[in-house]
Every structure is written in structure tokens, then in C-alpha cells.
Amino acid sequence: MNDINWAEESIKLHKKWKGKLAVKSKAPLKTKYDLSTAYTPGVAQPCLEIAKNKEAAYEYTWKRNSVVVLSNGTRVLGLGNIGALAGLPVMEGKAILFKGFANIDAVPLCVNAYTVDELVTIGKAIAPTFGGINLEDIRVPDCFEVEDRLIAALDIPVFHDDQHGTAIVALAALVNALKATNRDIKTARILCNGVGAAGSAILKAIYAAGARNIIAFDSKSTLSKSRPELKETYKEKLLPLIQEFDGSFEAGFVNADVFIGTSKPSIVTKQMISTMAKDSIVIALSNPVPEIMPEEAITGGAKIVCTGRSDYPNQVNNVLAFPGVFRGALDSKAKKITDGMKLAAANALASIVSDEEIASGIVVPSPFDKSVSKTIAKAVARQAKKEKVTRN
């Protein structure tokens, strides 16, 4: 399938579909009885029940199975700030993934709102209609503050998928890759490059999972307390999680066990990989062109290679995480998605891959494995109840 021109195929099909979503009624509408129960006068009664007790909305409306995909289009895929309208095909795509992989009804909502305050105001305003909010393709650092403020203000799950979806899948891949190479996350030397939305979330996730020997680079140099420009930024909050490192990007590879990239294409060479520890792990997530192509990484000495691409094994794809995470959160009536729930999701995802597959170099399952969403959902719901963040 590598010889298919995906741009041409996609534009042809999008023109045919005229959008990837449609509304389908669950209620019949063929008789006066149907009209009177689904709408007036009968509909007044569920309205009154919800007015008396807002929790009744989870019984009488779609709230228990609905998510809004909220974006302003300021950081769409690798396309950058293309605006709300141009981001709509992606948000429609996200919505069909919710439906296809977890049977969640999702609505794309692309808004002309380009400040944190505007996005927070919109998130608060639409919250009564939905069971959860999936934030998508919002620029850094706005995405961090928008998520934090909405989580604090609302009693429904709010989840920025560009951060946490990627981090959950990357952590699952790392857990199994460490198993495949007989390493311990507590002692593995990990080099991270790129600390935007995905990179910073991955760094936090691997630290939460036990990693303690981490160094990190952004586009300028290593993250360090010696860089005054990091003060009062989101990057400053990452400093307690990493080791100080006074050296070049190339020097960071020397004896490293793991490289995790969420940065730019083709910035890592075969020579850099060759300086890593034996049977190294490479998780190169720049997309569609990774920091180093898998063939080069393997030639350089890597044993396990993951990318964001679907045409290579071990694709770190958010679709492995967010449907199951929201399915579990909605099923348990969780008020929020905690760090513990995210860690539970990563471990559940890692557990799906068999020991035989791990031994052969496969560390993440296929997105089409029907057990993925269900396994994650059960783990997330169980953790939500354990942490007592559910409505009942």
C-alpha cells in the first residue's frame, strides 16, 4: 500500500462523503405517539426530572455517552496554525474514531476562539451538553492552561489528547520495549527530544512510571536550571523530573538506553544511534517523517523502533488510547481523568501484547485489535472507582 497517493485518495473520498459524520435518531418518528413522547408534550417530564436533579441527565439524555472534540485549529497535525475551519476534517475524523473504536457519540466543535480565556469560557458553556471534553490541536502553551482550568471548573472528564493520548501509548510501548531488552525503567538512561504538548506529557508519564534517569532537549539545548528563560514557563515545571546534562544533543545519545523524539524529521543519524547502549530503544514520533527512519535506526544498532507511521510496525497512535480512556471514564461516570487513570490505561495497553510478540520486537498492539478499547476502558473505570472520582 506504500505506492498509494494518500493525498489524492483522501481528497477524493472527502469530496464524496461531504463530511464524515451524520446524525441518526434512536427514537422512532412515524406516529403521533412517537412525536408526543420524543417531543412535546411528553418531553417536558424528563426536563423536569433533570431540573430537580442534574444527575438525571445521565439517564434521560445522551450525556452518558457523548464527547465534544473541541479545537481552535492553532496546532493541527504537522500543519500548524491553519485555523478552526481548516481543522474541521481532523475533528470529524476524531469523532468517527470515537464511534468506531468505543461506540461513543462525538461532536466536532471548531471555534474561532484564540485566547485561553475564550476557550475556557466556551468549554464551560458547552459542558452541560456533553459527558466529556476532548481538547484537540490547540497550540502550546495555551493547551496546558485551557486543560488545567477546565478540569478545575467542571465535573466531567477533560482530556487533551495531543498530550495524554500520545503519552499513554508511548509509555505502553516503552514498558514492553524495556521488557524486550531486559531493562528496568528505574535505571534506564532515557534521552527525550522535544517538550511540546506530546513531549512534556510523555516525560511526565515515564517519570510517574518510575523513570529517574532522564535528560531532555528542546529546540535550543538541554533543559536546565541554568537557562533563565525557562523560569515561569511550563518547561520549568519539568526540571524536577530530569537530570542536569551539560552537553550537546549528539552527546546525549552516548550510552543512552532509550531515545524518545517528538520533535523534527531526520535530525537523528545512524551514527548517533550507534553510540547508544547495546540493543537500544528508539521511539521516534515526528510525523509523517520521524527523527530517524526505522531502517537507519536498526542499522545503527537499535533493537526496538517505534514511530507514528502506519506503514511500519509499532505505530504509536493516539487511537490506541483515547477511545478506551473515555469509554472507561464515561462508563464509571468519572468526574475527571486522573494521572492514575492514565497510568492504568498505559499498563492495560501494554498488557495486550503477548510475551511472544514482545520477544519478536512487537511492543504495541494493532489499532484494529478489538480488545484494546475494552481492556483500557475496564482498567480506567476500575482506577476511577479506586480513586473515588466517580459520581456514584
Instruction: Go through 349-384 and write b for each residue having 16 or more CB atoms within 10 A of its CB, e for each that does not.
Output: bbbbbeeebbeeebbbbebeeeebbbbbbbbbbebb
Reading phi first (left if > 0) and then psi (alpha if -120 to 50, else beta), residue 133 is in beta
Q: What distance in Å separates the CA atoms of residue 324 and residue 332, rounded to the nearest whole number?
A: 12
Q: Is 12 an annotated catalytic residue?
A: no
Q: Residue 362 belongs to what H/E stretch?
A: none
Backbone φ/ψ region at 19: left (φ over 0), alpha (ψ -120 to 50), beta: left
* 3-class secondary-structure state, position 90: helix
Confirm if 102 and 326 have CB atoms less than 8 A apart.
yes
Residue 323 CA to residue 333 CA, distance in Å, equals 15
Q: Does the annotation mark 16 as catalytic?
A: no
SS3 of residue 316 by DSSP? coil
Sign of the dihedral defined by the CA atoms of residues 196, 197, 200, 202, in that order: negative
CA 76 distance to own-chain centroid: 14
Which of the residues 20, 63, 94, 374 is marked catalytic? 94
- The sheet that has 302-307: what strands, in order across it? 213-217, 189-193, 258-261, 280-284, 302-307
Output the CA–CA distances (angstroms, integers) from residue 339 to 66, 295, 325, 342, in the order listed: 22, 35, 12, 5
CA distance readout (Å), 270 to 86, 128, 277: 37, 52, 13
Query: For residues 171 and 173, what is the distance between their CA atoms, to the nearest angstrom?
Result: 5
Catalytic residue among 18, 20, 24, 39: 39
Catalytic residues: 39, 94
